[in-house]
Amino acid sequence: MRIIHVTDTHLVGPGNLLFTLDPTQRLEVVLRKIEAEFSDADLCVISGDLTDGGEPEAYRTLRDRLDNFPVPTRLLIGNHDNRENFRRAFPETPIDDNGFIQSFDDLEGTRLIYLDTPEPGAPQGRLCDKRLGWLKSTLEGAAGKSVVIFTHYPFLSIGLPTFRNILLSNPRDVMPLLHAHGGVRHIFCGHAHVAMAGQWEGIPFTISAGTCHHIVPDLASPDLRFIALTPQFDVATITTEMIHVHRIEAQDPPVLAVMPGV
């Protein structure tokens, strides 16, 4: 199974820029790269901050672009999104019984779980009791399956002072549910605008830096410094034996030399 992970597109209204960047154009080079080289992927997940301010026009831009995209796509929301405007633009997106934008797919013996983690008006994300209940039942329904989680907010520390107080506010309610299942193999996140990987309590995670602006991963300072790296996305190859995650830059760097296969 091959899954494309895209995140933090931060689309704005037509004709607008963000930090002097055109988020729509930066997403476009990513989607073209996927169409050219990974169109046979089983799924593409865009894990939140689809827009920068939740504007209806920005969601319409995304919908229009995805209409003919060849890879089946699942959309999550992030802290910059607006649930109501998102649902108007994408009414077919599955929701849970309480109206939260979370769902799951079962593919090749693996349950892919897509979480709704933003808490309106708060800098931190949260899984409220209703969302926690849904996650618990969804994990219980995946007995005998391996599980992969997609979330906008990272659950626990990512080692950067600037994110200390803007991650998920209640990971101690979430992690026991993941451990109780016993088969959670990986967590894919956005939000941080940096590329990194690690483990939380033994569960591997990766964070994709996203398609729009990026952040200098300063290990000492709480200040945010926004920069523009090449738009990027991740390609995850998942089998029963392994999970490989490759970071792909949407714009190819110059080739210095070619060595024949060894």
Per residue in 6-51, pLDDT (tens digit) is 999 999 999 899 999 999 999 999 999 999 999 999 999 999 999 9
What digits encode the pLDDT tens for the residues 37-89?
999 999 999 999 999 999 999 999 999 999 999 999 999 999 999 999 999 99
Domains and CATH numbers, the chain: 2-249 (3.60.21.10)
Dig out the tokens for 26 from the structure: 């930066």
Strand partners of residue 189: 151, 207
253 or 155, which is more confident: 155
**What is residue 261's predicted lDDT score, i.e. its pLDDT?**
80
Structure tokens at 100: 């939260």
8 A C-beta contact, residue 196 and residue 217: yes
DSSP β-bridge partners for residue 208: none
Q: What are 182-192's pLDDT values in tens digits? A: 999 999 999 99
- pTM attached to this predicted model: 0.96
In degrees, rounded to 5, the angle at the alpha carbon of residue 76 between the alpha carbons of residues 83 and 9 is 95
Residue-level pLDDT at 237:
98
List the beta bridge partners of residue 164. Answer: none
pLDDT digits (tens, 9 = 90+) for 40-49: 999 999 999 9
What tokens were used for 80? Answer: 């910059």
Closest CA to 51 of 63, 43, 40, 39: 63
